[in-house]
Amino acid sequence: MKRLLVLVLILVVTVVLSGCMDMFIDSPEMRAALKSGDPEQCKMLIVEKENGDQYHSEQWKCLRRMAEAKGDVNLCDMIEEKNTQEYCIWDVAGATGNELICSHAIDKDRCYSESAHFDNDLEACGLIASDSDEELCIMSISAELGDIEPCFELSEEGAKKCVEKFATKNGAEHCNFNRFDEEERDTCIWLAAETVKDCELMKETSSSWDSCMLKAAVNDESATDCVRIEDWNYAVKCVNQVAINSEDPNACERLMMGNKDTCFKEYAISEKDIKVCDRIEYEKEQKECREAVNG
């Protein structure tokens, strides 16, 4: 009976997913139109309607994708639905890096941002009218370019966010920014840290230390560094994860008593290694471990 229910569930999920996927799969007619490169072929596609309203159109989708592929904003003008037309203009600006295309857009700031990101052009960010959106553009591109200098020209809060974003992509050592207070710097280090060495840029008494070390010690597969975490629940979680990631149950030896047994149990279940169950001290836990591994 249980097996039958599982099979029925699988069948239902398959049918539902198949229906959902149909929404994203191009029709043969659309594929042929895109392959032809002829916008007139796109215009021949049927506009679907629901209750008399236009809610989706392969015609518009075809023209939008063809416009992006050709870098031709004039094809966007052939789209009747205004939102899709606007997205089409952004797509073409983003695909070509030509900010002049944004003269066709309603939301010119979004369009300038798309164009700027095409070739990481910081000057194009300067065309954005909104100060906050301009700063977001500069933050993103500076991180991509590996050039932190533009961050220093932003507003106080903008500069801090920019350095944090930059450090997250380019290394925690960049968090040593003179406009950060100690807590802000440590938060930056935690977000940017990849290794234990990164976390050691802050004091062990920092409120961000445990969160940073949990991430970094797991990355370094170092159970020894896990036990440097002050919050014992974090330390246990860290050791358990290191054991599994490193495929080394010996990491569990860093823990004590019940925590050690739980670590061995979680490892054995994760790795389907019944021999590790024998390392559990308490007989009841050993039995539960074997039963769980055997399934």
CA distance 229 to 209: 8
What are the tens digits of pLDDT across the range 188-245?
999 999 999 999 999 999 999 999 999 999 999 999 999 999 999 999 999 999 999 9
Q: Mean per-residue pLDDT for 8-12?
A: 44
On whether the CB atoms of residues 248 and 226 are closer than 8 A, the answer is no
Q: Is the pLDDT of residue 295 over 80?
A: no
Whole-number CA gyration radius for the chain: 28
pLDDT at 12: 42
Quote the pTM value.
0.75
On whether the CB atoms of residues 124 and 112 are closer than 8 A, the answer is yes
DSSP state of 56: E
Q: For residue 49, list its beta bridge partners.
A: 54
Count the Cβ atoms, other than its own, within 10 Å of residue 57. 20
Least confident of 6-20, 155-169, 259-273: 6-20
pLDDT band at 54 (very low <50, low <70, confident <90, very high): low
Tell me the average pLDDT of the chain: 89
Q: Is the pLDDT of residue 55 over 80?
A: no
pLDDT band at 138 (very low <50, low <70, confident <90, very high): very high
What are the tens digits of pLDDT across the range 40-51?
999 888 766 666
On whether the CB atoms of residues 152 and 139 are closer than 8 A, the answer is no
CA distance 243 to 260: 11
pLDDT at 47: 65
Q: Residue 114 corresponds to which tokens in the numbers above? A: 């798309």
Q: Is the pLDDT of residue 10 over 50?
A: no
CA distance 27 to 32: 9
Q: Residue 254 corresponds to which tokens in the numbers above? A: 């860093």
pLDDT band at 13 (very low <50, low <70, confident <90, very high): very low
Q: Comparing 56 with 132, which gets the higher pLDDT?
A: 132
Angle of CA points 147, 149, 153, to nearest 5°: 140
Least confident of 16-20, 27-31, 86-90: 16-20
List helix spans (H) across the chain: 2-22, 28-36, 39-43, 58-70, 82-96, 108-118, 122-125, 131-145, 156-170, 182-192, 196-199, 209-220, 223-226, 232-246, 257-271, 283-294
CA distance 103 to 127: 11
Q: Residue 5 corresponds to which tokens in the numbers above? A: 């229910």
pLDDT at 9: 45
Q: Is the pLDDT of residue 18 over 60?
A: no
On whether the CB atoms of residues 153 and 178 are closer than 8 A, the answer is no
